[in-house]
């Protein structure tokens, strides 16, 4: 059985500098790409937005500020695990549930922060944008026992746990609203949110941020701006864990009988 042994804990730093460095590198080509992205979007106020909407983005810093992720853990954690994912993506479900659970000891100790960006792929993933919005609507609700006190993470997990059911539906709108009832959200406010275009701008900005950073598929995982590869999700998760072990003075110890 493998166990971990702690050697020490490094001093914390925000880690924002490297992220801005990445943005600076792509800023020269970013303006044209942003203009192209927003011209392709569409949306209708007052209706359930199911695809990206048009945004007026001034520059890369503006996009960074508007592409608001969901976070778990200390904002000053020295290790930042950034994940771009789609709720209809089976590999994203595996990473967002099983692999994130393996990282929770570091997140809870303040050694790492888990940062989730929406990257709805669209196309055959017809419900992915609406699912991302519904999860954001869940984030407006209070939820006892949730890691951040809101309904986002419980709803996030429920979407992934039941992915194969709602992803096969012709319309998932009513199912997404029903999940809110199961989690005891305020029925009227949650339903109004899901049936509107609320949070469509944030989800769109998240997708655009991924485009600017060269995200081409999901899940895309970066640890302190280092892109994680691997032939499967378990390998990707193990690479993240190994970085965490090395960065925070831990090593795998195998016990012998």
**226: CATH:** 3.40.30.10
Burial 196-221 (b: 16+ CB within 10 A, else e): bbbbbbbbbbbbbbbbbbebeebbbb
Contact 152, 68 (CB under 8 A): no
Residues contacting residue 137 through CB under 8 Å, at least 6 positions apart:
180, 190, 193, 194, 198, 199
pTM: 0.83
Residue 59 lies in a domain: yes
Helix 173-182 × helix 187-194 angle, to 10°: 150
Contact 103, 244 (CB under 8 A): yes
Residue 256 lies in a domain: no
Query: What percent of the chain is modeled with pLDDT above 90?
Result: 69
Residue 7 lies in a domain: no
Residue 6 lies in a domain: no
Structure tokens at 137: 């609507």
By residue range, what is the domain housing residue 17? 12-251
Residue 213 lies in a domain: yes
Q: What is the pLDDT of residues 136-173, one digit of tens each?
A: 999 999 999 899 999 999 999 999 999 999 999 999 99
Confidence of residue 251 (pLDDT cuts 50, 70, 90): low
Residue 1 lies in a domain: no
- Count structural domains, the chain: 1
Residue 257 lies in a domain: no
Residue 4 lies in a domain: no
């Amino acid at each position: 059985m493998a166990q971990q042994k702690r050697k020490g804990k490094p001093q914390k730093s925000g880690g924002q500098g490297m992220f801005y460095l990445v943005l600076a590198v792509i800023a020269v080509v970013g303006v044209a790409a942003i203009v192209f992205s927003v011209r392709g979007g569409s949306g209708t106020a007052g209706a359930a937005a199911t695809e990206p909407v048009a945004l007026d983005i001034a520059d890369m810093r503006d996009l960074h500020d508007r592409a608001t992720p969901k976070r778990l853990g200390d904002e000053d954690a020295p290790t930042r695990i950034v994940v771009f994912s789609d709720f209809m993506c089976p590999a994203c479900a595996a990473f967002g549930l099983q692999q994130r659970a393996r990282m929770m000891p570091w997140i809870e100790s303040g050694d790492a922060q888990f940062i989730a960006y929406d990257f709805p792929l669209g196309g055959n993933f017809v419900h992915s944008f609406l699912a991302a919005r519904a999860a954001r609507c869940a984030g407006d609700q209070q939820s006892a026992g949730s890691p951040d006190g809101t309904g986002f993470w419980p709803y996030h997990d429920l979407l992934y746990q039941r992915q194969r059911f709602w992803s096969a539906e012709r319309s998932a709108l009513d199912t997404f609203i029903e999940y809110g009832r199961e989690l005891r959200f305020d029925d009227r406010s949650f339903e109004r949110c899901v049936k509107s275009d609320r949070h469509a701008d944030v989800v769109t900005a998240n997708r655009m941020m991924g485009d600017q950073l060269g995200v081409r598929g999901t899940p895309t995982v970066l640890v302190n701006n280092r892109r994680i590869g691997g032939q499967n999700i378990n390998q990707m998760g193990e690479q993240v864990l190994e970085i965490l072990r090395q960065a925070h003075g831990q090593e795998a110890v195998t016990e012998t009988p």
